[in-house]
Amino acid sequence: MASSNGTPAPGEEGKPSPAVAEGSIGGYESLHRLLEANLSPELFKEASRLLLGLNCTRPLEAICLPEGATTLAETHNFDVQAFSFGADKEFLRQPRVVRVGLIQNSIAVPTTCHFADQKKAIMEKIKPIIDAAGASAVNILCLQEAWTMPFAFCTREKRWCEFAEPVDGESTQFLQELAQKYNMVIVSPILERDVNHGETVWNTAVVIGNNGNIIGIHRKNHIPRVGDFNESTYYMEGNTGHPVFETAYGKIAVNICYGRHHPLNWLAFGLNGAEIVFNPSATVGELSEPMWPIEARNAAIANSYFVGSINRVGTEVFPNPFTSGDGKPQHADFGHFYGSSHFSAPDASCTPSLSRYRDGLMISDMDLNICRQIKDKWAFRMTARYDMYASLLSEYLKPDFKPQVIADPLIKKKS
């Protein structure tokens, strides 16, 4: 059993799980826990400083969660961790502390089960995790990409479109009750069916207010065309721009999955005033894990906002094998979704990651005052030279664009 800050229970330090779980690192749930178990306290402290940074010159502080939340985590076997990001004290503004949560989870039953049973089982599985967030007084909660279903877009089979639902459909109604119950804003990324426009399917995040109302939606801006990410078989690029939702607790935005690979996507949410940007994702280790701890953290630094990164967990096996167009044999699974959900702050600090193979709830207190403090410190907005880049992009979009390349006249060019 893990404590609320993710450390092993007394007497369990340094001991890998008896059975090595798929996705673990030699039996450990994360790199952070591996290091904690195998380094001396002094070395671990220094390694943490290098890997996680310092928040206002100090290591992140763990938050002690209420017994109700930790009991739910123990009963339902999900990882729960909680940390606090601070800000410098100001003379003219009071602290603006908001408690934010991320949920990562695996599917609940095999993909061969009836679709209605799959969806119901996932809802039943995440309900206790949402309840733990509610018991912990979380103000804003974000779920993972396409949370109501397996990430079946690798298969190219159109029957998985049956999981698509209207914005005000079953999953939204399920979460509206919980949002109202816990006075919580909930971001729900789903497969949307736009019934007013020819039943077009979109990859959409529904933002539900703390009163249970639907504040608005955002549709995924960038669609991958790499590996088994055959998402353009189901939906295309979104048409909602870069909306920022002003909630009771702060200004939030949603950069869905593949959009994290596009710096301008992150930039646009920042230009529109986001204080927290969520990145609900579904990504596998072989393809993207080296990027995972870098991209969101860099976005938080460059745009002076917080980022919440969420990835599902587990290996999802589908009924029919499929190929990737890379000459490799057909296979029936996408690979291992490695979880590792975490928060990144504008001052370059970040939390440890949740488990690589278990469901989890990451909670963070964050003082939103730090967003402006970092803008003042680094002056990125003042020094960004947007006019220069706007001019370059404008020229680049023209059919007769020519790159600005100055060649060495002494190079002998081959004919």
Q: pLDDT per residue over 26-83, tens digit each?
A: 999 999 999 999 999 999 999 999 999 999 999 999 999 999 999 999 999 999 999 9
Question: Out of 7-16, 81-90, 120-129, 348-357, which region has the weakest mean confidence (pLDDT)?
Answer: 7-16
Show the tokens assigned to 367.
Answer: 């003082």
Show the tokens assigned to 60.
Answer: 């992140």
254 pLDDT tier (thresholds 50, 70, 90): very high
Please determine, for residue 14, whether its predicted confidence score (pLDDT) is greater than 60.
no
DSSP calls for 207-226:
EE-TTS-EEEEEE-S----S
Show the tokens assigned to 383.
Answer: 């020094």
Question: Out of 26-30, 224-228, 276-280, which region has the weakest mean confidence (pLDDT)?
Answer: 224-228
pLDDT at 82: 98
325 pLDDT tier (thresholds 50, 70, 90): confident
Q: Could you say which of 36, 145, 231, 275 is catalytic?
A: 145
Which class for 394: exposed (0-12), middle (13-18), buried (19 or more C-beta within 10 A)?
exposed
| Residues 352/341, Cβ–Cβ less than 8 Å | no
Please determine, for residue 11, whether its predicted confidence score (pLDDT) is greater than 60.
no
H or E segment at 79? Answer: strand 79-85
Q: What is the mean pLDDT of residues 248-266?
A: 97
Q: What is the mean pLDDT of residues 399-414?
A: 90
Please report, rounded to a whole number, the percentage of residues in the chain having pLDDT higher than 70. 95
H or E segment at 316? Answer: strand 313-322
Q: What is the mean pLDDT of residues 388-415?
A: 91
pLDDT at 239: 97
H or E segment at 48? Answer: helix 41-52
Residue 373 backbone phi and psi in degrees, to 5: -60, -40
DSSP calls for 329-371:
PPEEEEEEEE---EEE-TTS-BPPP--SSS-EEEEEEEETHHH
pLDDT at 3: 43
Please report, rounded to a whole number, the percentage of residues in the chain having pLDDT higher than 90. 89
DSSP calls for 156-205:
--GGGGGG-B-TTSHHHHHHHHHHHHHT-EEEEEEEEEETTTTTEEEEEE
Query: 170 an active-site residue?
Result: no
Give me the helix-helix angle, 115-135 and 67-76, nearest 10°.
Answer: 150
Round to whole Å and give the CA distance between 126 and 131.
9
pLDDT at 412: 79
Q: Could you say which of 220, 231, 251, 295 is catalytic?
A: 220
Q: What is the mean pLDDT of residues 80-107?
A: 98
* pLDDT, the chain, mean: 94
Query: 154 an active-site residue?
Result: no
CA atoms within 13 Å, Cβ hemisphere of 143: 31
Q: Could you say which of 142, 257, 350, 371 is catalytic?
A: 257
Residue 142 backbone phi and psi in degrees, to 5: -125, 135
Question: Out of 55-59, 326-330, 371-375, which region has the weakest mean confidence (pLDDT)?
Answer: 326-330
20 pLDDT tier (thresholds 50, 70, 90): confident
Please determine, for residue 8, whether its predicted confidence score (pLDDT) is greater than 60.
no
Round to whole Å and give the CA distance between 165 and 172.
9
* DSSP-derived 3-state class of residue 114: coil
* DSSP-derived 3-state class of residue 81: strand
pLDDT at 228: 87
pLDDT tens-digit readout, 202-222:
999 999 999 999 999 999 999
First-residue to last-residue Cα distance in the chain: 68
95 pLDDT tier (thresholds 50, 70, 90): very high
Please name every residue paired with 310 in a beta bridge, in sequence order, or none if there are none.
280
H or E segment at 308? Answer: strand 306-311
Strands 79-85 and 360-367: parallel
Please name every residue paired with 82 in a beta bridge, in sequence order, or none if there are none.
363
Please determine, for residue 17, whether its predicted confidence score (pLDDT) is greater than 80.
no
Query: 22 an active-site residue?
Result: no
Strands 306-311 and 342-344: antiparallel
Q: What is the mean pLDDT of residues 133-139?
A: 98
Q: What is the mean pLDDT of residues 392-398?
A: 97
414 pLDDT tier (thresholds 50, 70, 90): low
Full set of structural domains in the chain with CATH: 24-53 (no CATH), 55-378 (3.60.110.10)
